[in-house]
Amino acid sequence: MDLIHLYQASRAVVEAIQASGLNDSIRAYRDALVEDGDVPVAAAVLDEAKNAYLESVGSFGPAELQVAEALQLTQLGSPSYWFDLSSPTANPLQRDAQLAVTSRQLTFVNEQFSKLLQMVEDAGEKAGAEKSPGYASTIVLRVNDTTEAAAAPDRLARVIDGLDLIYEGSALLADAARDTLRLVSVRDMPHRTLEFTGEKEPATATRRIVRSLTERIASGYLAVGEPVDEVCESLPFLQSVEDLYRVGALTAEFASQIRQTTLSGAIMLAEARVELVESAAEFASESVSPVCVNGVDTLPGESTGLSNSYEDEFVTGTPAGSQDDELEAFIEKLNRPER
């Protein structure tokens, strides 16, 4: 489990406990037993809180269950625990002791542990702001087994180099830094999924280029024997660069540099047969285990994409545009001095 998933699992456990109201209802039930209060009412409230928590536990994955075990809360997810606790034949002293222990555990989670998680989140946001303020967009690529294994080092190297070249071409046109693409993680699913982050404008353009490329691959352009370079040369982004050159926004030399850089990267990705992961939900729904994770760039609150920018861009709905989107995205470049 990597750092970001550990944080998310811990937060899910805390929120499940807090939302259920379990701690307050256990305290009220214990007080009613000790002080001869209205036990049936307190028991009914506890039963409702217990059911709410058990429902949350039912949706826990392995990571959340591991966190619950570390916090010594595993028994709270067992219906038999609650049955024994409310049994008329339960020993009053043992039941009171068990309620006291459980209440202390829940108090720790609600107060100290939740504060610790908030400190981690705040530290991650601060580190992200200090180290990578421009990282606001994520690109996720999937590599499946074909005639060449998804995990083949040479194939993964071509994917990384190819995307880096496309990003460089996009950054050149966007007048952004070319060395800001970061490989955040490589995941084993059994295929390989590679997660990158970069500055928003070039990363968004890069994702559009890859989308156009993968759509052509999926449509069977390569299956009918069309040369890879011809498929890549038909990408709308390259036509946009040509259009900008024709209207005088780019010099011939600069347009050629963007074109050759982007085209070289596109050919590498086409030959590697990559797929673009289009949504955070699609990425998160995969059963993943990290193969390598850049620990510096994956603190909660930093722009790893999965928890922040990827969710914002895809789940909240920046729609996939038409083939003219690339030209529209860079139309403001027309007003820049010729380079």
pLDDT of residue 311: 41
pLDDT of residue 114: 87
Please report, to the nearest 10 degrees, the dihedral formed by the alpha carbons of residues 298, 302, 303, 307 taken in order.
80
Q: If phi over 0 gives left and psi between -120 and 50 gives alpha, with beta otherwise, what is residue 276? A: beta
CA atoms within 13 A on the CB side of 275: 16
Cβ–Cβ < 8 Å for 53, 20: yes
pLDDT of residue 295: 36
Dist CA 176 CA 147 (whole Å): 37
Letter for the amino acid at 116?
L
Letter for the amino acid at 107?
T
Dist CA 275 CA 34 (whole Å): 62
Dist CA 26 CA 165 (whole Å): 59
Dist CA 164 CA 182 (whole Å): 9
* Gap between the terminal Cα atoms of the chain: 47
Q: How many CB atoms lie within 10 A of CB 37?
A: 14
Closest CA to 146 of 134, 133, 137, 159: 159
Cβ–Cβ < 8 Å for 214, 231: no
- pLDDT one-digit tens code per residue, 47-79: 999 999 999 998 888 889 999 999 999 999 988
DSSP assignment string, 156-213: HHHHHHHHHHHHHHHHHHHT--SS--EEEEEEESSSEEEEEEEEHHHHHHHHHHHHHH
pLDDT of residue 218: 75
CA 100 to chain centre: 39
* Pairs from 25-28 (Cβ < 8 Å, separation ≥ 24): 25/49, 25/50, 26/99, 26/102, 26/103, 26/106, 27/103
Q: Which residues of the chain have pLDDT under 70?
A: 1-2, 124-136, 146-148, 150, 188-190, 220-226, 279-339
- pLDDT one-digit tens code per residue, 131-153: 444 445 889 998 877 656 767 78
Whole-prediction pTM: 0.49
Dist CA 111 CA 107 (whole Å): 6
pLDDT of residue 5: 78
CA atoms within 13 A on the CB side of 132: 24
Could you tell me how many residues make up the chain?
339
pLDDT of residue 216: 82
pLDDT of residue 120: 81
